[in-house]
Amino acid sequence: QVQLAESGGGSVQPGGSLRLACVASEFSLGFTLDNYPIGWFRQAPGKEREGVACISSYDGSTYYEDSVKGRFTISRDFTKNTVYLDMNSLKPEDTAVYYCATQDHSTWNAWTVCDNHYAMDFWGKGTLVTVSS
């Protein structure tokens, strides 16, 4: 029932910034993000899908993969049912397809979400981020 749609990907030079957005929705009225943890995952060519930044449903606590700490920020806008990933100081190794995903009415903490992409119930179709000079 939950639908996710990513946007904001594109091409940027090293050191640049992008903001990705994940808009969440469902058929019923009264949808709220506080029932759904959100994870941003990425998959580069030839590599496994990995959790990048995740946020818990119940308290908004966050987890970041080591390589993006201090550069990426995940946040929620409840009024827009949107989760953002602000990416700064981008590096070529950040190049990947970025996906947002969620687990239905989950209270998993942020680290657990990021470490268990296979357990997510709903996925967007991804947005491509390319970092190159």
How confident is the model over 2-21, as a mean pLDDT? 97
The H-or-E segment that residue 110 falls in is helix 110-114
Say which DSSP state 45 is in: T
28 pLDDT higher than 80? no
Give the count of beta carbons closer than 10 Å to the beta carbon of residue 9: 18
**117 three-state secondary structure:** helix
**82 three-state secondary structure:** strand
- Mean pLDDT (the chain) is 95
Which tops the pLDDT comparison, 83 or 27?
83
Per-residue pLDDT tens for 73-122? 999 999 899 999 999 999 999 999 999 999 988 899 999 999 999 999 99
Q: Which of 16-30, 45-59, 75-89, 111-125 has the lowest mean pLDDT?
A: 16-30
Distances (CA, A) of 118 to 17, 36, 39, 128: 29, 16, 12, 20
